Amino acid sequence: MELSEKIKTIPSATGVYVFKDIEDRVLYVGKAKSLRSRLNSYFGSNAPDPKILMLRQQVADVDYTVTATEVEALLLEGQLIKKHRPRFNVMLKDDKDYPFIRLDVTEEFPRLEVVRKMKRDKARYFGPYPNAGVINETLRLAKKLFPLRSCNDWRGKRRPCLNFHIRRCVAPCSGRVSPEDYRRIVDQVVLFLQGRHQHLEKQLRQQMEDAARSQQFEAAAEIRDQLDALGKLTARQRIVSAQTWNLDVLAVSTQGEIAAAQLMTVRGGKVLGNEYFRFRSQPAADPREMVSAFVRDHYQRVPVLPGEILVEAMPPDNLALESWLSEKRGAPVVLRMPQRGQKKQLLALARENLVAHMDAENKGEDSAGPERETLLAQVQELLGLEDIPWRIECYDISHIQGSQTVASMVVFERGQPLRRAYRRFKIRELNSPDDFAAMAQVVSRRLAAHSEGREGFSTLPQLIVVDGGKGQLSAVAGVLSHNNCGDVGLVALAKRDEELFLPGHQQPLVLEKGDPALQLLQRIRDEAHRFAIAYHRRLREKETLVSDLDRVAGVGPARRRALLQAFGSIDQLREKDAAEIAAVPGIPWSVAEEIYRHFRKNK
């Protein structure tokens, strides 16, 4: 059936539509209140914008799904975009899970921990934190202000660890605090992580006055110190309104090939966060579409929502977005485009930050961007690839006689390492050294993760580089063929003579040592080798630590984990004295002395 005829049969109902090309690849996913009207608008006689014109030239088929409501269509659209990553859709350029701070309030004595996934449990989650420095600073301040426990192995201790003596823990392990008093600290931590510092200051001040009236002067002094530290923190935060606004401010823009967003978080009238995000987008994307994509992608993983989001451009699906956000929050959420006053000034401030970030990024890319693009074009020509290899992935295997076999995946985008996309793999179910089978396994697992839509694996590369020769090349080529990934380029780079092996070529390709394309591939291969070796050494150190500590009385799995977390390796542990070992949470003095004597005896 012709596409125009098929569109006539599509109902005038709410739903999601999917444009596909002649090879059944998803080009674009959209939603509509009336599917037939929306699809007719793409193929009408009115002059479309350049994006629609380009899309119209490539569309060969359309699928659709009818939904009961616009909110259902919004959620389904997001799921399909995340799964297929269509080239014509605007979406956040995010290949990983941002971390959260988790506080399991169902425990009697909960602790703070960093996690990558939100579970459907009754714990409280705070975040996500796109910036690692921000989450580390937040945890540092939280632990300094509020003496929650930080250890895993804490029950039934006869005496508290060093954290109690330096006032970083109230020692629930040895019964030094009641569940009721500990719960009050937990409630204060929640206020702190929510940014409700004024409420927290009010609570602490009242507690200090109560302690002073009852002549508990030491407790009052500790609370006073907490208030001082909290006051210094809030003094550093920029006050943008005398009113206690709780809202987010979103600015979006495109410059050249960069599409980005700036999200400013205002709580209690103060700026608590100011984060920069990149879109994976066509140049000159529609700001309304960018706002819609950001709200859909970002707030899907945010556990605590503001009641108001200020935007520069109102998305066409604002009512569906507001309905979904309100349902998620359990209270009204509105998207607002202010025209005057302080809220308009907040948008201007967010845009200033966004422009500064984009200018800095453009300057960094402009200095070396054209040179890298030329180099990647040389790689394309050299290897006979269909497309310029903007994303290159390289795999390496590391083991010692088949023991602790691991693999690394490193990613280069536009000729530069994308370290947040690096991944490590433990090779499974291989009883003997077999680099070919190991290489096939790791690439199979990577492609399976892509087909499942797992975070961090959603983008396929234009080129895969494997460390090795014909055997590794053949193993990976078979995996790519089995997974219908024939459009992904493949090359093997052998270390000994630096020869390039290509699918379908009997003889290797030998280049001059100074060839720029070869040097780029060598750099990527060496990075994968370094990453694999580092992981292998870490696993061997863990194995050595376990086997060595097995001979020490009083050291079981929990204490081994605590020692490894504290010192990292057996060599570091050997250098510590008994007092340093005993400072590790969960290690009593008697066991610390046993460990110390064990290593001195075996020196």
Is the pLDDT at 546 greater than 60? The verdict is: no
CA gap 85, 73 in Å, rounded: 17
Q: Which residue has the higher pLDDT, 572 or 421?
A: 421
Q: DSSP letter at 177?
A: S
pLDDT of residue 535: 64
The backbone torsions φ and ψ at residue 527, rounded to the nearest 5 degrees and listed phi first, read: -65, -40
Q: What are the residues whose beta carbons fall under 8 Å from the beta carbon of 264, sequence distance 6 or more? A: 248, 249, 250, 251, 271, 273, 274, 346, 349, 350, 353
Q: Choose among 528, 542, 274: nearest CA to 423.
A: 528
CA gap 429, 331 in Å, rounded: 50
**Beta-strand relationship, 391-400 and 403-413:** antiparallel
Instruction: Encode pLDDT of 10-25 as tens digits.
Output: 898 999 999 998 888 8
Instruction: Encode pLDDT of 326-380 as tens digits.
Output: 998 899 999 999 998 889 988 998 898 888 888 877 665 544 556 777 888 889 8
CA gap 392, 415 in Å, rounded: 8
Which burial class, exposed, middle or buried, applies to 455 when counting CB atoms under 10 A from its CB (0-12, 13-18, 19+)? middle
**Beta-strand relationship, 334-336 and 308-311:** parallel
pLDDT of residue 217: 80
Residue showing tokens 């954290």: 163
CA gap 195, 183 in Å, rounded: 19
Tell me the three-class secondary structure of 38-57, residue by residue: HHHHHCCCCCCCHHHHHHHH
Which residue type sits at 483?
A: N
**Domain ranges across the chain:** 3-89, 100-236, 247-281+307-359, 391-538, 550-601
pLDDT of residue 236: 45
CA gap 129, 127 in Å, rounded: 5
Helical H segments across 117-252, by residue range: 132-145, 162-165, 179-193, 197-213, 217-236
pLDDT of residue 125: 84
CATH architecture of the domain 247-281+307-359 equals: 2-Layer Sandwich (3.30)
Which burial class, exposed, middle or buried, applies to 30 when counting CB atoms under 10 A from its CB (0-12, 13-18, 19+)? buried
8 A C-beta contact, residue 169 and residue 150: yes
Q: What are the residues whose beta carbons fall under 8 Å from the beta carbon of 497, sequence distance 6 or more? A: 508, 510
Residue 102's H or E segment, with its range, is: strand 100-103
Residue 195: CA count within 13 A, CB half-sphere: 20
Least confident of 15-24, 57-66, 200-209: 200-209
Q: What average pLDDT does range 456-485 have in this prediction?
A: 89
Q: Which residue has the higher pLDDT, 443 or 55?
A: 443
Q: DSSP letter at 238?
A: P
The backbone torsions φ and ψ at residue 261, rounded to the nearest 5 degrees and listed phi first, read: -140, 150
Question: What CATH code is assigned to 3-89?
Answer: 3.40.1440.10
Q: What is the mean pLDDT of the chain?
A: 81
Helical H segments across 384-507, by residue range: 435-451, 470-482
**Beta-strand relationship, 61-66 and 258-267:** unpaired
Q: DSSP letter at 259?
A: E
Q: What are the residues whose beta carbons fall under 8 Å from the beta carbon of 504, sequence distance 6 or more? A: none
Q: Choose among 494, 491, 535, 498: nearest CA to 515.
A: 498
CA gap 214, 300 in Å, rounded: 48
pLDDT of residue 392: 94
Least confident of 118-132, 444-458, 528-542: 528-542
CATH topology of 247-281+307-359 equal to that of 391-538? yes
Q: How many CB atoms lie within 10 A of CB 173?
A: 24
CA gap 156, 175 in Å, rounded: 9
pLDDT of residue 14: 92
Classify each residue of 295-307 as buried b or exposed e, where b means 16 or more C-beta atoms within 10 Å of its C-beta. bbbbbebbbebbe
DSSP β-bridge partners for residue 395: 409, 466
Instruction: Encode pLDDT of 421-467 as tens digits.
Output: 888 888 877 766 788 998 999 999 999 888 777 777 878 899 999 98
Q: What average pLDDT does range 203-214 have in this prediction?
A: 83
Question: What CATH code is assigned to 391-538?
Answer: 3.30.420.340
pLDDT of residue 286: 86
Q: What average pLDDT does range 204-219 have in this prediction?
A: 82
pLDDT of residue 95: 46
Share of the chain above pLDDT 90, in %: 20
Is the pLDDT at 470 greater than 60? The verdict is: yes
Secondary structure of residue 265 in the 3-state scheme = strand
CA gap 583, 160 in Å, rounded: 10
Q: Choose among 167, 149, 164: nearest CA to 113.
A: 149
Question: What CATH code is assigned to 550-601?
Answer: 1.10.150.20
CA gap 171, 184 in Å, rounded: 15
CA gap 95, 531 in Å, rounded: 19
Q: Choose among 383, 391, 380: nearest CA to 458.
A: 391
8 A C-beta contact, residue 82 and residue 301: no
